[in-house]
Amino acid sequence: LHEWGGPEAQELASSIANRLGNGRLSTYLELRNWRRYPLSETAQSNFESYYYNKKGPLAFIQWDQEHPLPEAWSNKRKAYRKIYLAYAYAAFRDFENTWNAYDEALALAPENRWVQLLKASLLETEDKRREAVGYLENLQPKHPDYSAIPNYLAKLYWKLEDENKALEIITSAREKFQGASLVHTEFLIRSDRDEFELLLSLTDEYESRSPLLTEKGKLVCNAWRSDALRGLKRFEEALELADGQKPGSFHAHVAESLKKGIKNKQRVRLEIPHVLQDHMTCAPASLAMLSAYWGKSVDHDEIVEAICYDGTYDASERKWCIEQGWKTIEFRLDWDSLRALINRGIPCAVATKEIKSGHLQVVSGYDEYIEALLIQDPSKTHYVEHLQQSFFDNQKTFGPRALLILPEDQQHRLDGIELPEAQFFSSLYDLNLALDQNKRRSAQEAMERMLETDPENPFIHHAKYSLSRYDGATIDQLEAVDSLLAISDKDERIAWLKLELLRKSGQYREALELLTEYAERKDTSVCWTAEYGLELVDDARNWEKSRKLLERALALSPCDSASLKHCATLERINGSIDRSLTLS
């Protein structure tokens, strides 16, 4: 493949390398092709694909603006440019420009099957999966020998919770076509069903269809085998394969856990119907999963309409559950309570927090062999494993808060189970609900109940923060945040709240000191990098440093809205109005 000459032959070589399991070689050939034949439209078009994947959507939009399409290019290559542009706009959920770019691509190459296929992908990005399925089913008869269509169609059916239809499509396609990607899709679907014996044979088949698989790829296959063998309780074989993984990786931890022994341990997973979320609808999707588990199917979109506006607030989740007639309990989830609940057949939702966002997902089981939670994450198509120690350590500042629901006739399942701080969280719910309903006195009464229950509880400070935020008492908010910082080892998520409050109260010097401290930490979050870059914009002497910080933030998170906004501000100050408008 390295020796094939000419841009068209190199393009084919790159495609073959990718299909045979060596993406790294494929990228190398793609890039080398452009360097060897910089005037070739084939090489230039392939480079645009590389550039999009390497630099991200914003950089590609700017590339398109700075490099007009050559008139001499074929319509196919012009269409490919427009497709990448459509994807770039879709990444920012700018669907007007997305479909404008796609329509231009289709007009240029109306019979190109790849261009036709990607309409389904753009529909999915817009959360229109059922429309995408209908489109692909109509498209498939026109291209019966195009394996990408059944592959994508199976994935969509899987995401729409029709696993049987997805498996019917993908197994038929796997028998008809030879691509490894079809095997991988079936592997993913069956891994969600814990079909461990079949997963072993699918891994072997995937490897046999990928003769150019890299050493890293072979390690991934061994990790898959290790997981399947662990599921089959063939622990010695699982340990041998996990022990060869990269130090510090998840499977290296698996190996260490298995070395400690397996006596009196178990793996338990509840079968919970999976619901895939749309944009910012993790809470409705998680509540829909819990409802379906207890036999009450509720459309995810109905819950969105009931409780969502720019995300979901904690109190609205529980309020909706109560209105549906469920017995609801909130509590602080830990390893012991998790296992006790799962052993009684009770799943729960758990909330996790990041600097600017939160996420709700469903705990569906546990694995004592490796000390991991099994979680149905609505943002993913299959369940995932999280190491319990790191999970709980990361979220201890926020609980983590958990929510369970039960039908009235199933409450006996809780007999003898003590849920940590359930009474406290009940009062916290009362407080937040009262504030949401503008019942300040009721909120104060809930606060007093919390103080009576456990005056030393760290969540007292969360409650004080909520109460003082409602009152607009910035100084009281700062006091609550400082208390949380003191007991959370300077958690950056709490520090972010303090930064906002310092700015709000006019304490700019203190805000800059805090910002500098966290932005210059090793492995700091992109939020701090972007915010530090913006802070330096006010001083022209720091513009170059500011630009570097903001560019680094965008490189780490190309679609981060704050980074884009801050870069636009810097460009506007520097007089680059057109570039500022693009960023905005």
Q: Does residue 242 sit within a domain?
A: yes
What pLDDT score was predicted for residue 33?
A: 92
What pLDDT score was predicted for residue 315?
A: 85
Give Cα separations from 401 to 88, 192, 334, 543 (angstroms). Answer: 36, 26, 10, 42
What pLDDT score was predicted for residue 532?
A: 86
The whole-chain average pLDDT of the chain stands at 91
Are 221 and 205 in the same domain? Answer: no
DSSP lists the bridge partners of residue 375 as 363, 384
Q: Does residue 81 sit within a domain?
A: yes
> How far is Cα 508 from Cα 499, in angstroms, rounded to an integer?
9
> How far is Cα 577 from Cα 401, in angstroms, rounded to an integer?
45
Write b or e for each residue in 221-245: b if 16 or more Cβ atoms lie within 10 A of its Cβ, otherwise e: bbbbbbbbbbbeebbeebbbbbbeb
Give the strand pairing for 384-387 and 327-332: unpaired
What pLDDT score was predicted for residue 538?
A: 75
Are 218 and 308 in the same domain? Answer: no
Are 187 and 100 in the same domain? Answer: yes
Are 150 and 52 in the same domain? Answer: yes
Out of 248, 263, 278, a domain closes at: 263
Please check the confidence at residue 554 and state whether its pLDDT lies above 80.
no
Per-residue pLDDT of 131-159, as tens digits, reads: 999 999 999 999 999 999 999 999 999 99
Structure-model confidence comparison of residues 564 and 293, the more confident one? 293
8 A C-beta contact, residue 533 and residue 549 = yes
Please check the confidence at residue 167 and state whether its pLDDT lies above 70.
yes
Q: What average pLDDT does range 469-475 have in this prediction?
A: 93
Report which secondary-structure segment, H or E, holds 332: strand 327-332
Q: What average pLDDT does range 285-307 have in this prediction?
A: 90
Structure-model confidence comparison of residues 245 and 151, the more confident one? 151
What pLDDT score was predicted for residue 309?
A: 60
Q: What is the pTM of this model?
A: 0.86
3-class state of residue 330 by DSSP? strand
What is the CATH classification number for the domain harbouring 541? 1.25.40
Are 203 and 348 in the same domain? Answer: no
- Token readout for 130 is 């059922």
Q: Does residue 489 sit within a domain?
A: no
Are 364 and 416 in the same domain? Answer: yes
3-state secondary structure string across 480-549: HHHHHHHHCCCCHHHHHHHHHHHHHCCCHHHHHHHHHHHHCCCCCCHHHHHHHHHHHHHCHHHHHHHHHH
Q: Where residue 206 falls among pLDDT bands split at 50, 70, 90?
A: very high
8 A C-beta contact, residue 48 and residue 81 = yes
What pLDDT score was predicted for residue 547?
A: 82
> How far is Cα 84 from Cα 45, in angstroms, rounded to an integer?
10
Q: Does residue 411 sit within a domain?
A: yes
**pLDDT-wise least confident of 48-52, 80-84, 523-527, 560-564:** 560-564
Q: What phi and psi values does residue 440 have, to the nearest 5 degrees?
A: -60, -40
Are 178 and 220 in the same domain? Answer: no
Please check the confidence at residue 259 and state whether its pLDDT lies above 80.
yes
Are 29 and 71 in the same domain? Answer: yes
Are 139 and 286 in the same domain? Answer: no
With 0-12 / 13-18 / 19 or more C-beta atoms within 10 angstroms meaning exposed / middle / buried, residue 257 is: buried
Please check the confidence at residue 580 and state whether its pLDDT lies above 70.
no
Are 137 and 277 in the same domain? Answer: no
Q: Does residue 495 sit within a domain?
A: no
Q: Does residue 382 sit within a domain?
A: yes
What is the CATH classification number for the domain harbouring 372? 3.90.70.10
What is the CATH classification number for the domain harbouring 140? 1.25.40.10
Closest CA to 124 of 91, 76, 96: 91
For the chain, what is the domain count? 4
Are 204 and 249 in the same domain? Answer: no
Per-residue pLDDT of 60-73, as tens digits, reads: 998 999 999 999 99
Contacting residues for 435 by C-beta, under 8 A, at least 6 apart: 443, 466, 467, 470
3-class state of residue 132 by DSSP? helix
Give Cα separations from 460 to 261, 446, 448, 483, 562 (angstroms). Answer: 40, 11, 10, 10, 31
Omega prior to 400 cis, within 30 of 0: yes
Are 57 and 200 in the same domain? Answer: yes
Q: Does residue 515 sit within a domain?
A: no
Out of 177, 212, 247, a domain closes at: 212
Q: What average pLDDT does range 313-338 have in this prediction?
A: 92
What pLDDT score was predicted for residue 311?
A: 46
Out of 245, 263, 281, a domain closes at: 263
Please check the confidence at residue 555 and state whether its pLDDT lies above 80.
no
What pLDDT score was predicted for residue 584?
A: 55
Q: Does residue 506 sit within a domain?
A: no
**pLDDT-wise least confident of 76-80, 87-91, 290-294, 380-384:** 380-384
Residue 353 belongs to what domain range? 268-420
8 A C-beta contact, residue 331 and residue 337 = yes
